[in-house]
A and B are shown apart, each in its own frame.
Chain A
Amino acid sequence: MFRYRIIYAKVGPARYISHLDLLRVFDRSARRAGLPVAYTQGFNPHPKMTFAAPLSVGTAGEAEYADMELARDIDPAVVKSALAGAMPQGLRLIEVDRTPEAAASLMALVERATYSARAELASPLRDEVLARAIDSFLARPQIIIERQGKAGAKKEYDIRPGIFAMSGCVNNDIIKIKAELKTGSSGNVRFEELLAAFLKESRLPLRGRLSLTRTGLLFRGAEQG
């Protein structure tokens, strides 16, 4: 088998494709592209594809990662151009590279993710006010949020250790908030959780909801953003 690492954007209508559906969408896209997708054995074979950290439905992704195995060795440039012409609206290929079959799984490699959120302001807000709000938020020793446990019971959880950076800016009536968060199987912090906790405290004059984007994924050993 031949493994390829795909970097892609998930924007526009594709933001609403759930993580579960994404596998099917990639499989069908690859089949339309005429690529020899490799499948698992058994009664219900499924394509050998893995995705890095799942993206919440509705959040855009500017540089998402997937690994896909093919049954034949095909030049990555060919894979890229074939696949690029076969994806539904909003899924855009950025890069396709070979990756060794023995390489660690994407899931295990992802360590952090960078995000940005954007919304309209209902009333003017000065940059300094926003910066102060963020500073005082980050100055807290603990930021406790509630999570729904598996049994439905609510559990308190401190997300402060998983927040590596957070900043904001205001441009006319648009506010942007950026953050770098822990991602992965332990200590994961969801951007929505962070924003909810921050907004609860700072009461920014937002008009409508924040629209969210994951701007990048950072892998173990990579530079911190």
Chain B
Amino acid sequence: MFFGYTIILGICCGEKEIENMDLLDQILPLVKKPARYAGGEWNAVCKNWGEVDLKVAFAFPDVYEVGMSHLGLQILYGIVNSRPDALMERVFAPWPDMAEKMREHEIPLFALESKRPLRDFDVVAFTLQYELSFSNILYMLDLAGIPLLSASRSEEYPLVIAGGPCAFNPEPIADFIDLFVIGEGEEVINELLDAVAGGKRDKLSRKELLRKAVEIQGVYVPSLYLVHYGEDGAFLRVEPADSSVPARVKKRVVKDFDQVSFPTSPVVPSTEVVHDRMMIEVLRGCTRGCRFCQAGMIYRPVREKERGTVLRQARELVRNTGYDELSLVSLSTSDYTPVQEVVKSLLDEHAAGGVSLSLPSLRADQFSVDLAKEVQRVRRSSLTFAPEAGTQRLRDVINKGVTEEDLLAAAGAAFREGWLAVKLYFMIGLPTETDEDLDGINRLAREVLSLGRKAGVPRGRLKVTVSVSSFVPKAHTAFQWEPQAPFEALKERQAYLSGKVRDRGLTLNYHDAGASFIEAVFARGDRRLGQVLSKAFELGCKFDGWTEYFNLEKWLEAFKSAGLDPAWYAYRSYGYDDALPWDHIDPGISKRYLAREHQRAMEGITTGDCRTGDCPGCGLCGALEIEPVLAGSERDV
């Protein structure tokens, strides 16, 4: 629940702000999309710096339009700004044209609300959403005039913290971050800010504060851990500096997801962003157990929001934002127990007001198409399904519980209901993949296409898009021990597919194999990669998630000068007994369970969903003293 702001929303007009704003007005007319840097959006919270003790900057290491689409930002922004003693402002990675102008005019990186330099904040909090944004963290710290290395930052600089999914293997970025938060942030952020406020009051040194902070569950302070490597360069272990520091850092998880703070007055951008709509998170966690999926492991257990809570939050969002589209977000929205009733109630209440619904992550089955049909009473777009692999054999290996019948039934229904375009997501380079699986992708795409023709979709308008990404082994998954397919092999498979998936109405897209390679290196990397990041940043690497900026040659050069081999990281096959660089991070699920899942994968045996009452024994509930919560069930909180 969101408490509304108890403080008075003043207009930001400190002396510093005015000074900075004048300078900004000199450069904003010269850059692309200046609305990215102007602030002043609806629901932006501008507090008076003189009346607030703790100043926190939420730093998103990508451009405004991407960062403003991120629900986590809005959640934490709401929570911190509802504290009378604290404020949170936003900062995004300036596009290079802006960065150039800022350097030219000596304007340090500033937060949007007060236009104050990042340096003036007590805490700068980065979110780690994808590995390819790591270089932008260095880019932003540098623009802010903050020393990059944690060890080189004296007391006068802000505390630099980070959280988000990539914090589950924090080592590659550990040199630059003072403190990581592992797991869900809603509750721990308050505990952490209390500790920072206490530290300020008691005049604790940075070191003393960090020592205190590790007492909070979910807090990882890399400087309090030592990393050991073998003589052959193998990773040996991460070890706490002394006995007062926990050997493993247990993730944080919100017990009462239904009642936890949710932003119903989010900042509404004045310029178009990637996800430009209201978002309600209807459930958190997914227990389908896809073996490649990190989100499915680290966000366990499943917790659903009650129907009444969703309806109330929707009402507040509509009133507070003025958006005309509401998205029910989660890892798998068709799994939300009361999804049909909720969709119906939302449409009954809001369709007349011109609000449409969207369900971004649907299963590939008839049920989901029926849902989508219900939802799209107002507007139409394309439907997306993610079979992930081309054959049933490989789908069993990855435990993707979608059958060919499901997918074809869904696609056929979609075309009959009037959709003209279907998107199919696949992955290549999955463990055990053969040419047969690639042929399966082609075959499925063509069958979907022919279903469209049969359904009478006009030839010129019928479109089946096949989007192919490359498998990246991630920490804390059943495939964490698996190598990535070699770069050349990925290239070959892409070429193989583009030779086959070629017909009128068929479109094939694939991701840059080089970017997936670097992603794989960092996804399973260790602390030594900090040197590579430093070097890559010096060489100009930034915005690596953007094809126009990603530069594989520069990355390879960075590895070379750091004396490290990226292939060793990406292609390494680990044994179950090998120490892993992320072993000290405890996501609640047991390594034994992951190993069992890996074995079952190799044998092609699927594992059920714990929603159905069939416990696969991931170990989470016992480890974190928590249970799955489905909407409408008895709750014990």
Q: Say whether B270 contacts A32, CB under 8 Å.
A: no
Interface string of A3-32 (1 = CB under 8 A from B): 000000000111111100100110111111
Contact A18 B322 (CB under 8 A): no
Residue among A17, A39, A43 with the most chain B CB within 10 A?
A: A17
Contact check, A88 vs B322: say whether CB atoms are below 8 A apart.
no
B323 touches A28 (CB 8 A): yes
Q: Which residues from chain A contact B37 at a C-beta distance below 8 Å?
A: 16
A16 with B28: in contact, given A21-B270, A90-B40 (CB under 8 Å)? yes
Is A185 located at the chain interface by the 8 A CB criterion? no
Minimum CB–CB distance for A14 against chain B, Å: 6
A17 in contact with B322 given A28-B42, A43-B380, A58-B34 (CB within 8 Å): no
A209 sits at the interface (CB 8 A): yes
Q: Mark A31-46, 1 if CB is under 8 A from B, else 0.
A: 1100001010001110
CB distance from B44 to the nearest CB of A (A): 7
- The verdict on A18 contacting B35 (CB below 8 Å), with A58-B29, A209-B29 known, is yes
In this complex, how many residues of chain B approach chain A with their Cβ under 8 Å: the count is 31
Q: Is A174 an interface residue (CB 8 A)?
A: no
The reply to whether B34 and A29 form a contact with Cβ atoms under 8 Å apart is no
- Let me know if A211 and B25 touch, CB within 8 A: yes
Contact mask for chain B residues 349-370; partner A; CB cutoff 8 A; 1 contact, 0 none: 0000110000000000000000
Q: State whether the Cβ of A57 lies closer than 8 Å to any Cβ in chain B.
A: yes
**Which residues of B lie under 8 Å from residue A15 when comparing CB positions?**
38
Contacts of B322 in A (CB 8 A): 27-32, 86
> Per-residue 0/1 for B23-49: is the Cβ within 8 Å of any A Cβ (1 yes, 0 no)?
001101110011101111110100000
Asked whether B40 lies within 8 Å of A88 as measured between CB atoms, the reply is yes
In the complex the two chains form, is A44's CB within 8 Å of B379's CB?
yes
Report whether A45 and B42 are in contact in the complex, using a CB–CB cutoff of 8 Å: no
Say how far A88's CB is from chain B's closest CB, in angstroms.
Answer: 4
Known contacts A16-B38, A17-B35; A32 and B272 CB within 8 A of each other? no
| Number of interchain pairs (Cβ within 8 Å) | 83
Contacts of B320 in A (CB 8 A): 32
- Give chain B nearest CB distance to A74 CB in angstroms: 16
Chain B residues lying within 8 Å of A18, measured Cβ to Cβ, are 33, 35, 271
**B34 near A57: Cβ-Cβ < 8 Å:** yes
With contact pairs A43-B379, A58-B34 given, residues A13 and B40 touching in the complex (Cβ less than 8 Å): yes
Could you tell me the distance between the alpha carbons of A37 and B37 in the complex, rounded to whole angstroms? Answer: 30
A84 nearest CB across to chain B (Å): 13
When distances are taken between beta carbons in the complex, the residues of chain B under 8 Å from A209 are 25-26, 29-30
CB pairs A–B below 8 angstroms (18 shown): A13-B270, A14-B40, A16-B34, A16-B38, A17-B38, A17-B270, A30-B322, A31-B318, A31-B353, A32-B42, A32-B319, A37-B354, A39-B354, A43-B379, A88-B42, A89-B41, A89-B44, A209-B26
Kindly list 16 other residue pairs between chains A and B, CB separation below 8 angstroms, not including A87-B42, A88-B268, A89-B40: A13-B38, A13-B41, A13-B270, A16-B34, A16-B35, A27-B324, A30-B322, A31-B318, A32-B319, A43-B379, A43-B380, A57-B34, A58-B25, A86-B322, A89-B39, A211-B25
Residues of A at under 8 Å CB distance from B? 12-18, 21, 24-25, 27-32, 37, 39, 43-45, 57-58, 86-90, 208-209, 211
Give the A-binding residues of B (Cβ under 8 A).
11, 25-26, 28-30, 33-35, 37-42, 44, 268, 270-272, 318-324, 353-354, 379-380
